[in-house]
Structure 1
Amino acid sequence: MTGPDHLDADRLSAPGGQPVLVVDAAGWRRPLAPIQAVVIGIDREGALPTVVADDFDLLLTVAESAPRPWVTDPQADRLADAVRANPIAATIAAGVLRLTARLPLADALQVESLAYSALLGGREFQRWRSAAPGGAAPCPTEPLAIAREGDRLLLTLDDPTNRNAMSAAMRDALYEALANALDDPSRPAVLIQGAGKCFSTGGALAEFGTAHDLAEAHAVRTLHSCARALDVLGSRGTVRLHGACVGSGVEVAAAAHRRIAAADSWFQLPEVRMGLIPGAGGTATVARAIGRHRTLWMLLSARRVGARQALDWGLIHAIGDAP
């Protein structure tokens, strides 16, 4: 195909006014010019045509039970509107997913965090923050319960009043426990679970946007990355999920070698609607589990993914109880 030249490609971006490009997936090829628009390829016939997946940020089809990287969703307009609602966050999300797919996990987490800190200073996030409800129950002084059972370490997110919202205190406590497990010469297995009705509803909303130094926030975020520590644990790391697993509540969990979910579990990435991208590792951990195309679909749609779909996609490994 004849694509835009380098100057004309400026319009295919958030600053250029066209942050999303919806195209027929069959036969479309990405132009050489560096477009920033989110490219959504559509298969309206359900034929699942042969495509070059790297040319697209998202591939939609009407075919049932479509294989990766396709997503069965005929509502491209709704996803395009989500891009237009928060064009900077959406196009950065697509760009970060493209880049981090080629990087080792630790490097991918650095890239994500840098982009996340940049978006914290952006107008889209400030607009969300000004409209967001305030207030939350106080965080407990010990938001993580730690127990040793033989050669297994049991870590329980223990703030059920706040639905185990991942506050800075909880994140730091979880990171310290994981770091201790990594340093422990007895090499214990680690099981992470949540107390109460759900695993975690993600970041503590009352803390969003409270960092005064966004550069320092990036340094702290990457220094205490629970996703990185859990990934380094390798086969010793398991998570037991139930109920809501939202934002960082799925991003950290997705780094575990073994992910077991109860039948009532559901998963959601709402960050783009907040003018952000994942900040706890999701562009790397979730994307490694289900692919970057389906991860972007979760971000743009903000839909809940149930346990059965999560199992089919590879976000979890089994439905049931952890051993």
Structure 2
Amino acid sequence: MTGPDHLDADRLSAPGGEPVLVVDAARWRRPRAPVQAVVIGVDEAGDLPPVVADDFDLLLTGAIAPSRPWVSLARAPGADMLATAVRQSPLAATIAAQVLRMTARLSFPDALAVESFAYSTLLGGSEFARWRMGRNPGDTLRTPDDPLQIEREGDRVIVTLNDPVSRNAMSAPMRDALYEALANILDDPSRPAVTLCGAGRCFSSGGALDEFGSARDLAEAHAVRTLHSCARALDAIGERGAVRLHGACIGSGIEIAAAAHRRIAAPDAWFQLPELGMGLIPGAGGTISIARAIGRHRTLWMLLSGRRIKAPTALEWGLVHHVEEAA
């Protein structure tokens, strides 16, 4: 298939008016011209044709339980619905695809910096402003009394997210306390193991929505976000780090957790990336931690679809390593 030339490629972008391409996966080849549009390759027959995965941002197939990077249409919204999601937030969607491509080849800390640059950019953008305009103006910030519990049992530290009233929403106080706990574990010469878990009905419902957009200096927010990245600290702990996940694990509630080298889920655990509807991309490390667990194509599917991934699928895809038996 002949691709566009460099001048015509401007059209295939959010500013150019066409932020998404739905193409035949068997025939599409990525052109040399810079295409910013999200490219969704479709294999409706389920033949799983040989493809160059780098040519696509997302690959959909009619096959059941295909291998990575494919996503089965049996579990996914159709390509048209995903394309609609891109067109509703074209800047966030195309930037998400670009970040996923770039960060795949970087170290974890460098990849986090790229994600954070993009996240801060989108916080200043029109799509996020539109989402904020739809928020209830009466919303007020809530500060949890004791957002974290830390216990030590021998050579293991148990860190518990402890704001069940908010379903362990990742507020600034909770993130700060979690980073401090993980940094202390990294600095501890005894090198203890750490298990991260959540109190109450779920592990974490993600970022505290009332705080979104509260930063006045987006450049400083980027600097703080990368300096105090809980995902980076958890990744640095390496094989000593584990998480136990149950109930809702939304947004930053799975982005941080996915950086743990051992991830255990309860049968009721489910996972979701809702950021695109806010005009954003994951900003707590998810474009790296989740993508390195399940691949960038499936990560983008989670973001574009906004669908919940249940524990069995998370296990099949590699987002978790083990699902406990029901009690």
The separation in 2 between residues aligned to 1:12 and 1:287, in whole angstroms, is: 25
- Structural RMSD (CA): 1.0
Residue 59 of structure 2 aligns with which residue? 59
Calculate the TM-score normalised by the size of structure 2: 0.97
Residue 7 of structure 1 aligns with which residue? 7
After alignment, is 131-140 or 257-266 more displaced? 131-140
The separation in 1 between residues aligned to 2:142 and 2:232, in whole angstroms, is: 28
Given that 1:137 and 1:161 are in contact with CA atoms closer than 8 Å, whether structure 2 keeps it comes out as no
Please tell me whether residue 222 in structure 1 is matched to residue 237 in structure 2.
no
The separation in 2 between residues aligned to 1:306 and 1:280, in whole angstroms, is: 21
261, 268, 283: which one pairs with 1:264?
268
Residue 196 of structure 2 aligns with which residue? 192
The separation in 1 between residues aligned to 2:304 and 2:111, in whole angstroms, is: 20
Per-residue CA deviation, residues 90-149 of structure 1 (Å, 9 max, x unaligned), is 000000000000111110000000000000000000101111245367322320111111
308, 311, 321: which one pairs with 2:315?
311
71, 81, 103: which one pairs with 1:100?
103
Residue 149 of structure 2 aligns with which residue? 145
285, 289, 305: which one pairs with 1:285?
289
Amino acid at match of 1:84: R
138, 163, 175: which one pairs with 2:179?
175
Please tell me whether residue 163 in structure 1 is matched to residue 163 in structure 2.
no
Given that 2:141 and 2:210 are in contact with CA atoms closer than 8 Å, whether structure 1 keeps it comes out as no
Given that 1:137 and 1:162 are in contact with CA atoms closer than 8 Å, whether structure 2 keeps it comes out as no
After TM superposition, where is structure 1 displaced by more than 2 Å over at least 4 residues in a row? 132-139
Q: Percent identity?
A: 73
Q: Tell me the SS of whatever aligns to 1:7.
A: helix
Given that 1:153 and 1:189 are in contact with CA atoms closer than 8 Å, whether structure 2 keeps it comes out as yes
Structure 2 counterparts to residues 4-153 of structure 1, below 5 A: 4-73=4-73, 75-133=78-136, 135=139, 138-153=142-157
Q: Which runs of 5+ in 2 are unaligned?
A: none
Given that 2:141 and 2:211 are in contact with CA atoms closer than 8 Å, whether structure 1 keeps it comes out as no
C-alpha displacement at 1:320, in angstroms?
Answer: 1.4
Given that 1:42 and 1:60 are in contact with CA atoms closer than 8 Å, whether structure 2 keeps it comes out as yes
C-alpha displacement at 1:51, in angstroms?
Answer: 0.3
C-alpha displacement at 1:2, in angstroms?
Answer: 1.6
Q: Tell me the SS of whatever aligns to 2:6.
A: coil
Calculate the TM-score normalised by the size of structure 1: 0.98
The separation in 1 between residues aligned to 2:57 and 2:218, in whole angstroms, is: 28
Q: Tell me the SS of whatever aligns to 1:11.
A: coil
The separation in 1 between residues aligned to 2:141 and 2:210, in whole angstroms, is: 10
The separation in 1 between residues aligned to 2:321 and 2:93, in whole angstroms, is: 29
Q: How many residues align?
A: 321
After alignment, is 111-120 or 129-138 more displaced? 129-138
Per-residue CA deviation, residues 247-290 of structure 1 (Å, 9 max, x unaligned), is 00000000000000000000000111110000000000000000
Given that 1:40 and 1:60 are in contact with CA atoms closer than 8 Å, whether structure 2 keeps it comes out as yes
Per-residue CA deviation, residues 181-216 of structure 1 (Å, 9 max, x unaligned), is 000011110000000000001000000000000000
C-alpha displacement at 1:27, in angstroms?
Answer: 2.2
Per-residue CA deviation, residues 127-178 of structure 1 (Å, 9 max, x unaligned), is 0111124536732232011111111101000000000000011001000000
The separation in 1 between residues aligned to 2:140 and 2:175, in whole angstroms, is: 17
The separation in 2 between residues aligned to 1:124 and 1:25, in whole angstroms, is: 30
The separation in 2 between residues aligned to 1:79 and 1:196, in whole angstroms, is: 34
Amino acid at match of 1:55: D
Per-residue CA deviation, residues 26-50 of structure 1 (Å, 9 max, x unaligned), is 0210010001000000001010000
Please tell me whether residue 244 in structure 1 is matched to residue 279 in structure 2.
no
Aligned pair in 2 of structure 1 residues 23, 260: CA closer, same or farther (>3 Å)?
same
The separation in 2 between residues aligned to 1:132 and 1:18, in whole angstroms, is: 28
Given that 1:139 and 1:159 are in contact with CA atoms closer than 8 Å, whether structure 2 keeps it comes out as no
The separation in 2 between residues aligned to 1:137 and 1:119, in whole angstroms, is: 22
